[in-house]
A and B are shown apart, each in its own frame.
Chain A
Amino acid sequence: MSQASTIPEPEVLDSLPRFDLLHVPVVGRFLRWRHARSVSQIPLLIIGVLMILHGLLGPSLAPKNLATVLTWLHFRGVLALTILAAGNFFCFACPFMLVRNAARKFFRPRWNWPRALRNKWLSAGLFVLILFIYERYGLWASPWLTAWLIIAYFGTALIVDGLFKHASFCKFVCPLGQFNFAASTVSPLEVAVRDQQICTTCETKDCIRGQRKPGSELVILQRGCELALFQPRKVGNMDCTFCLDCVHACPHDNVGILGRMPAEELITDPIRSGIGFFSRRKDLAALVIVFTFGALLNAFGMVSPVYVVERWLAKLLHVTQAAPVLATIFGFFLIVEPIVLLGTAAWTTQKLKGTQRPLIPSMVRYSYSIVPLGFGMWLAHYGFHFLTGLFTVVPVTQSAAASIGLSLGHPHWLWVGVPMRFVQPVQLGFVILGFFGSLLVARRLADEDCPEHPMRVFIPWAAVALMIWLASVWLIFQPMEMRATMLMSN
């Protein structure tokens, strides 16, 4: 039999039934249950409250406190790995939304989110702010500050969604949500319609309007999508919190959690419900640039060479404070470096006559190609802390229980995690995976943009991906230094 005959044609592949998590026994049944989200949120809320209490009242040493251990080791690691393996299930189980929903029983929001802020500029700025505060105040080393960060999160979610209708906090404010949205563009699962034909004949559009009480249109029995994603026009995971409101609202049981090729949504540019065209969203491009270069920046903050750079900058700027030095490093990583790299690639593409797009639209269009690399670096970084500190939650929990009179045995402080020598190959694997993902996206975009000479577009953007990848690999092999900034210690 010839090899050609064993490979199904693309049309045949398209016609095959897609994997649907909602059809998986037990898991699917649970997720289809109306209260699945609340039940998933409650344990996280309890853990969140315990983290706050331990952060405020417990030991001030970060390795002995649940607030810092769970936030900076386990939560970040589990979050990134879940997005890689499945999808945006953290937003699904987000405890902030449980509190918000409870609060909305008392305070009905009155206003719509301001039109001028209906974009990602604010949330991308808040994302940068969180990264800056993390570095400037050494959040990883302070249970007290970490607890207040969690409280601030709860407070902000309550205030924003207490005042503004729909899921304004998730869509326009939450920096963590934006991280999840950007990362989940490379997830293998998405909330999507099973059969488009059914949607074309649907008259109720409950997936976005919500299920109304028969005869009483103002009474909503089941909420529709709060993030303005109309299922038949929804593409991919951007802005999707996996809340599954659409699944419950659809009267035809036509919404599932379907399998797809990771990063698939980055290689196409259709008009997307609630989003528009990726290629026209400068704010979204800014978000994915911050997401990708922020991964490098965040990792750079924990390796030895940052000492040298900080000292050199302090001398150059004649300052002794950490803030201006950090601000300079942030400016370089998040503004100068992206502009130089992406700008050069876009300019080269133009010079090679690969694309007719002007410079900025070209940068916007291809900025999405670096998302897999960025996610690869976040995975490498968060995966490192998660795996090397995997078991530390055990002695910290034992110690926390002992402090309130519960005996869970003597704390095993030497229970740490997977040895670093085993973790480094995993880290390398993540960034290699990200690199090939970015190459694939860049190539597909180039094919679409310039079918006659795709290499004229692909090569400059592949060079950008290569440079980011080399920087990622270099960072992974640098000696780790678990520290606050050098200037803070002076």
Chain B
Amino acid sequence: MKLSFRRGGRRGPLTKALPALLMFSGIAWTVACSRSAAKSPTSITDKKISPNPAHVGPVTVGFHLSDAAKPVSGAQISLEGDMTHPGMAPVFGVAHEVAPGQYQGNLTLNMPGDWVLLLHVTLPDGRKLEDQIDVRGVQSS
């Protein structure tokens, strides 16, 4: 009896599923690689919020902006407060420089719960920077 290996005949289930597996691997690879973005040398430090713990109502957000340990002056900074649960209106504000590299602004938190405050920074050279402050458990005033 003559045995032969067929090529191009009926494909097995694994071969049929190969495109899907490849696509899934591609997605997984993209996800893994997307987390490693280049770091900016400019940093936001000494982030503070008062009152602490925060209550519903106005809060003051303060932080220090520096580049290679030198304070960065003249940055344009907008503040945004979002609740961690989707579906709630964000709140907006602006931070101003109160000392070289030191910025401060106000936001009005209008609901108890968990908030994330976003700092949208435009540096004097036009570069953009974002950072966030997690404010957990804002309580009723």
| A binding-site residues for B, Cβ under 8 Å | 53, 56-57, 61-65, 68-69, 72-73, 106-107, 138, 140-141, 304, 307, 385, 388-389, 392, 413-414, 416-417, 479-484, 486, 489
Asked whether A69 lies within 8 Å of B84 as measured between CB atoms, the reply is: no
* Contact call B34/A481, Cβ cutoff below 8 A: no
Q: Establish whether residues A416 and B88, one from each chain, have CB atoms under 8 Å apart when the complex forms.
A: yes
User: Given the interface contacts A57-B30, A486-B137, A489-B137, does A107 sit within 8 Å of B86 by beta carbon?
Assistant: no
Interface stretch among B57-65, B100-108, B109-117?
B109-117
Residues A304 and B34 in contact, CB atoms below 8 Å apart: no
**Residue in chain A with minimal CB distance to B17:** A106
Q: Report if A73-B89 is in contact (Cβ < 8 Å); known contacts: A57-B30, A479-B140, A481-B113.
A: no
B125 shortest CB reach to chain A, Å: 23
Confirm or deny: B87 has a beta carbon within 8 angstroms of a beta carbon on chain A: yes
Which among B31, B89, B112, B136 is the interface contact of A479 at CB below 8 angstroms? Answer: B112
**B111/A413 in contact, CB under 8 A:** no
Indicate if the CB atoms of A484 and B86 lie closer than 8 Å: no
Q: What band does the interface of chain B fall in when counting residues whose beta carbon is under 8 Å from A? A: 20 to 34
By the criterion CB–CB under 8 Å, are B34 and A482 in contact? no
15 A-B pairs, CB-CB below 8 angstroms? A61-B84, A62-B84, A62-B86, A72-B86, A106-B16, A307-B137, A413-B80, A413-B90, A414-B90, A417-B87, A480-B112, A481-B111, A482-B114, A483-B113, A489-B137
Would you call B31 and A482 a contact (CB within 8 A)? no
* Residues of chain B with a CB closer than 8 A to A480's CB: 111-113
- Do the beta carbons of B86 and A140 come within 8 Å of each other? yes
Query: A416's contact among B27, B87, B114, by CB below 8 Å, is which?
Result: B87
Q: A138-B84, A388-B87 are in contact. Are A57 and B13 (CB under 8 A)?
A: no
Once the chains bind, are A304 and B82 in contact (CB under 8 Å)?
no
Residues of B within 8 A of A483 (CB): 84-85, 112-114, 136-137
Chain B residue numbers with a CB within 8 Å of A307 are 137
Q: Contact between A63 and B34 (Cβ–Cβ < 8 Å)? A: no
Which chain A positions have C-beta within 8 A of B16? 106
User: In the bound complex, what is the Cα–Cα distance between A73 and B30 (angstroms)?
Assistant: 27
Chain B residue numbers with a CB within 8 Å of A486 are 137
Is B83's CB within 8 Å of the partner chain A? yes
Contacts of B30 in A (CB 8 A): 57
